[in-house]
Chain A
Amino acid sequence: SQQGEEDPQALSIQEGENATMNCSYKTSINNLQWYRQNSGRGLVHLILIRSNEREKHSGRLRVTLDTSKKSSSLLITASRAADTASYFCATDENTDKLIFGTGTRLQVFP
Protein backbone atom coordinates (compact mmCIF):
# COMPACT_ATOMS: atom_id res chain seq x y z
CA SER A 1 0.00 0.00 0.00
CA GLN A 2 1.12 3.56 -0.55
CA GLN A 3 0.63 6.20 2.08
CA GLY A 4 1.70 9.38 0.36
CA GLU A 5 0.47 10.93 -2.83
CA GLU A 6 2.73 13.49 -4.42
CA ASP A 7 1.45 16.36 -6.48
CA PRO A 8 2.15 17.19 -9.22
CA GLN A 9 3.16 13.89 -10.81
CA ALA A 10 5.53 15.77 -13.11
CA LEU A 11 7.00 19.27 -13.10
CA SER A 12 9.14 21.07 -15.69
CA ILE A 13 10.91 24.34 -14.91
CA GLN A 14 13.86 26.46 -16.03
CA GLU A 15 17.11 26.67 -14.13
CA GLY A 16 16.95 29.36 -11.46
CA GLU A 17 13.22 28.90 -10.83
CA ASN A 18 11.79 27.44 -7.66
CA ALA A 19 10.15 24.01 -7.60
CA THR A 20 7.40 23.07 -5.17
CA MET A 21 6.15 19.54 -4.63
CA ASN A 22 3.38 18.46 -2.31
CA CYS A 23 2.72 15.26 -0.43
CA SER A 24 -0.52 14.19 1.21
CA TYR A 25 -0.92 11.23 3.53
CA LYS A 26 -3.78 9.44 5.18
CA THR A 27 -3.01 8.57 8.81
CA SER A 28 -1.15 10.17 11.70
CA ILE A 29 2.63 10.02 11.54
CA ASN A 30 5.73 10.28 13.70
CA ASN A 31 7.87 11.70 10.94
CA LEU A 32 7.91 12.43 7.23
CA GLN A 33 10.92 12.16 4.99
CA TRP A 34 11.81 13.32 1.49
CA TYR A 35 14.06 11.36 -0.84
CA ARG A 36 15.48 12.01 -4.30
CA GLN A 37 16.03 9.36 -6.98
CA ASN A 38 18.04 9.92 -10.12
CA SER A 39 16.86 7.84 -13.04
CA GLY A 40 17.01 4.13 -12.25
CA ARG A 41 19.30 4.60 -9.26
CA GLY A 42 18.96 4.28 -5.49
CA LEU A 43 17.23 6.87 -3.35
CA VAL A 44 19.08 9.59 -1.49
CA HIS A 45 17.73 10.95 1.78
CA LEU A 46 17.12 14.70 1.70
CA ILE A 47 15.41 15.69 4.92
CA LEU A 48 13.38 14.30 7.83
CA ILE A 49 10.75 16.38 9.62
CA ARG A 50 9.09 15.18 12.82
CA SER A 51 5.39 15.51 13.53
CA ASN A 52 6.00 18.26 16.11
CA GLU A 53 7.97 20.38 13.62
CA ARG A 54 6.39 22.77 11.12
CA GLU A 55 9.30 23.75 8.93
CA LYS A 56 12.83 22.60 8.24
CA HIS A 57 15.62 23.88 6.00
CA SER A 58 18.63 22.21 4.43
CA GLY A 59 20.63 24.26 1.95
CA ARG A 60 18.28 25.12 -0.93
CA LEU A 61 15.58 22.82 0.43
CA ARG A 62 12.67 23.90 2.59
CA VAL A 63 10.15 21.41 3.92
CA THR A 64 6.90 22.28 5.64
CA LEU A 65 4.55 19.96 7.47
CA ASP A 66 0.90 20.58 8.29
CA THR A 67 -0.37 17.66 10.37
CA SER A 68 -3.90 19.10 10.53
CA LYS A 69 -4.12 18.86 6.74
CA LYS A 70 -1.96 15.71 6.59
CA SER A 71 0.27 17.33 4.01
CA SER A 72 3.86 18.38 3.43
CA SER A 73 5.62 20.43 0.79
CA LEU A 74 9.17 20.41 -0.50
CA LEU A 75 10.51 23.64 -1.98
CA ILE A 76 13.74 23.66 -3.98
CA THR A 77 14.96 27.20 -4.52
CA ALA A 78 17.12 28.39 -7.40
CA SER A 79 16.89 25.02 -9.12
CA ARG A 80 19.73 23.58 -11.17
CA ALA A 81 19.82 21.04 -14.00
CA ALA A 82 21.38 18.61 -11.50
CA ASP A 83 18.15 18.72 -9.47
CA THR A 84 16.44 16.77 -12.26
CA ALA A 85 15.19 13.63 -10.53
CA SER A 86 12.13 12.01 -8.96
CA TYR A 87 11.23 13.12 -5.46
CA PHE A 88 9.41 10.92 -2.97
CA CYS A 89 7.89 11.52 0.41
CA ALA A 90 7.82 8.69 2.95
CA THR A 91 5.88 8.34 6.18
CA ASP A 92 5.72 5.82 8.98
CA GLU A 93 1.92 5.62 9.45
CA ASN A 94 2.62 5.56 13.22
CA THR A 95 4.02 2.06 12.73
CA ASP A 96 7.52 0.73 12.30
CA LYS A 97 7.30 0.61 8.50
CA LEU A 98 8.30 3.33 6.07
CA ILE A 99 5.81 3.81 3.26
CA PHE A 100 6.73 5.77 0.13
CA GLY A 101 4.51 7.97 -1.98
CA THR A 102 4.09 7.90 -5.73
CA GLY A 103 6.74 10.52 -6.49
CA THR A 104 7.07 13.75 -8.47
CA ARG A 105 9.26 13.76 -11.58
CA LEU A 106 11.12 17.07 -11.75
CA GLN A 107 12.79 18.20 -14.98
CA VAL A 108 14.99 21.31 -14.80
CA PHE A 109 15.98 22.76 -18.16
CA PRO A 110 19.27 24.66 -18.48
Chain B
Amino acid sequence: KAGVTQTPRYLIKTRGQQVTLSCSPISGHRSVSWYQQTPGQGLQFLFEYFSETQRNKGNFPGRFSGRQFSNSRSEMNVSTLELGDSALYLCASSLSAGGNTDTQYFGPGTRLTVL
Protein backbone atom coordinates (compact mmCIF):
# COMPACT_ATOMS: atom_id res chain seq x y z
CA LYS B 1 0.00 0.00 0.00
CA ALA B 2 1.14 3.51 -0.63
CA GLY B 3 2.01 5.48 2.48
CA VAL B 4 0.63 8.77 3.71
CA THR B 5 1.36 11.57 1.29
CA GLN B 6 1.47 15.26 2.02
CA THR B 7 1.60 18.17 -0.38
CA PRO B 8 3.34 20.46 -0.77
CA ARG B 9 6.56 19.35 0.93
CA TYR B 10 7.88 22.89 1.33
CA LEU B 11 6.09 26.22 1.45
CA ILE B 12 7.20 29.80 2.00
CA LYS B 13 4.58 32.40 2.88
CA THR B 14 4.53 35.90 4.33
CA ARG B 15 2.77 37.14 7.43
CA GLY B 16 -0.93 37.69 6.98
CA GLN B 17 -1.32 35.22 4.14
CA GLN B 18 -3.22 31.97 4.40
CA VAL B 19 -2.12 28.47 3.50
CA THR B 20 -3.75 25.11 2.76
CA LEU B 21 -1.94 21.84 3.29
CA SER B 22 -3.13 18.51 1.94
CA CYS B 23 -2.88 14.96 3.24
CA SER B 24 -3.84 11.67 1.61
CA PRO B 25 -4.06 8.81 4.12
CA ILE B 26 -3.23 5.17 3.59
CA SER B 27 -5.99 3.46 1.63
CA GLY B 28 -8.65 2.21 4.03
CA HIS B 29 -7.65 4.50 6.89
CA ARG B 30 -10.50 6.76 7.95
CA SER B 31 -8.80 8.66 10.77
CA VAL B 32 -6.50 11.56 9.90
CA SER B 33 -4.66 13.59 12.52
CA TRP B 34 -2.59 16.72 12.16
CA TYR B 35 0.39 17.76 14.28
CA GLN B 36 2.60 20.83 14.42
CA GLN B 37 6.26 20.30 15.24
CA THR B 38 8.56 23.15 16.29
CA PRO B 39 11.92 23.11 18.08
CA GLY B 40 10.46 25.01 21.03
CA GLN B 41 7.10 23.28 21.53
CA GLY B 42 7.81 19.84 20.14
CA LEU B 43 4.98 17.82 18.63
CA GLN B 44 1.62 19.42 19.29
CA PHE B 45 -1.70 17.82 18.38
CA LEU B 46 -3.86 20.03 16.17
CA PHE B 47 -6.97 17.99 15.37
CA GLU B 48 -8.27 14.65 14.23
CA TYR B 49 -10.89 13.83 11.62
CA PHE B 50 -12.85 10.63 11.23
CA SER B 51 -15.50 10.05 8.58
CA GLU B 52 -15.51 13.76 7.61
CA THR B 53 -16.12 14.88 11.22
CA GLN B 54 -13.68 16.60 13.52
CA ARG B 55 -13.48 14.23 16.43
CA ASN B 56 -10.87 15.95 18.55
CA LYS B 57 -9.06 19.27 18.74
CA GLY B 58 -5.89 20.53 20.38
CA ASN B 59 -5.23 23.92 21.93
CA PHE B 60 -4.72 26.02 18.83
CA PRO B 61 -6.43 29.28 17.85
CA GLY B 62 -9.32 29.36 15.41
CA ARG B 63 -6.93 30.40 12.64
CA PHE B 64 -6.13 26.72 12.36
CA SER B 65 -8.89 24.70 10.72
CA GLY B 66 -9.28 21.56 8.75
CA ARG B 67 -11.66 19.31 6.94
CA GLN B 68 -11.92 15.80 5.63
CA PHE B 69 -13.47 14.65 2.40
CA SER B 70 -15.52 11.56 1.68
CA ASN B 71 -12.42 9.77 0.32
CA SER B 72 -10.69 10.43 3.70
CA ARG B 73 -8.26 12.96 2.23
CA SER B 74 -7.81 15.89 4.55
CA GLU B 75 -6.82 19.52 4.26
CA MET B 76 -5.54 21.87 6.91
CA ASN B 77 -5.84 25.63 6.60
CA VAL B 78 -4.05 28.35 8.50
CA SER B 79 -5.30 31.89 8.03
CA THR B 80 -3.57 35.17 8.85
CA LEU B 81 -0.17 33.53 9.16
CA GLU B 82 2.18 34.60 11.94
CA LEU B 83 5.93 34.11 12.20
CA GLY B 84 5.35 31.56 14.96
CA ASP B 85 3.42 29.34 12.57
CA SER B 86 6.70 28.34 10.92
CA ALA B 87 6.89 24.62 11.60
CA LEU B 88 6.84 21.12 10.22
CA TYR B 89 3.20 20.06 9.83
CA LEU B 90 2.71 16.34 10.05
CA CYS B 91 -0.30 14.34 9.02
CA ALA B 92 -0.93 10.83 10.29
CA SER B 93 -3.57 8.26 9.47
CA SER B 94 -4.83 5.22 11.28
CA LEU B 95 -7.52 2.58 11.17
CA SER B 96 -8.73 3.72 14.58
CA ALA B 97 -12.43 4.11 15.02
CA GLY B 98 -12.14 5.10 18.66
CA GLY B 99 -9.83 8.05 18.73
CA ASN B 100 -6.36 8.52 17.33
CA THR B 101 -4.58 6.54 20.02
CA ASP B 102 -3.80 3.48 17.93
CA THR B 103 -0.74 3.18 15.73
CA GLN B 104 -0.28 6.31 13.67
CA TYR B 105 1.24 6.23 10.18
CA PHE B 106 2.90 9.53 9.41
CA GLY B 107 3.50 11.36 6.18
CA PRO B 108 6.82 13.10 5.42
CA GLY B 109 5.46 16.48 6.53
CA THR B 110 5.11 19.94 5.03
CA ARG B 111 7.78 22.43 6.04
CA LEU B 112 6.10 25.85 6.30
CA THR B 113 8.24 28.96 6.59
CA VAL B 114 6.55 32.27 7.35
CA LEU B 115 8.56 35.39 6.52
| Interface-central residue, B33, B35, B42, by most chain A CB under 10 Å | B42
CB pair A31–B101 under 8 Å, yes or no, is yes
CB-defined interface of A37-57 with B at 8 Å, one 1/0 digit per residue? 000111111001000000000
* Least CB distance, A4 to chain B, in whole angstroms: 10
CB pair A95–B99 under 8 Å, yes or no, is yes
CB pair B100–A42 under 8 Å, yes or no, is no
List chain A residues, Cβ under 8 A from B25: none
CB-defined interface of B30-49 with A at 8 Å, one 1/0 digit per residue? 00010100000011110010
Query: Is B98 on the interface with A (CB-CB < 8 A)?
Result: yes
Question: What is the count of residue pairs linking A and B with beta-carbon distances less than 8 angstroms?
Answer: 65
CB pair A97–B45 under 8 Å, yes or no, is yes
CB pair A40–B101 under 8 Å, yes or no, is no
Chain A residue at minimum C-beta to C-beta distance from B50:
A96
Supposing A44-B106, A98-B100, A103-B42 touch, asked if A1 and B111 sit within 8 A by C-beta, the answer is no
Query: Is A88 on the interface with B (CB-CB < 8 A)?
Result: yes
* CB contact list, B89-111 vs A, under 8 A: 90, 92, 98-109, 111
Majority secondary structure of chain A interface residues (helix, strand, loop or mixed) = loop
CB pair B90–A98 under 8 Å, yes or no, is no
Chain A residue at minimum C-beta to C-beta distance from B45:
A97
* Least CB distance, A2 to chain B, in whole angstroms: 6
| Interface-central residue, B33, B55, B104, B109, by most chain A CB under 10 Å | B104
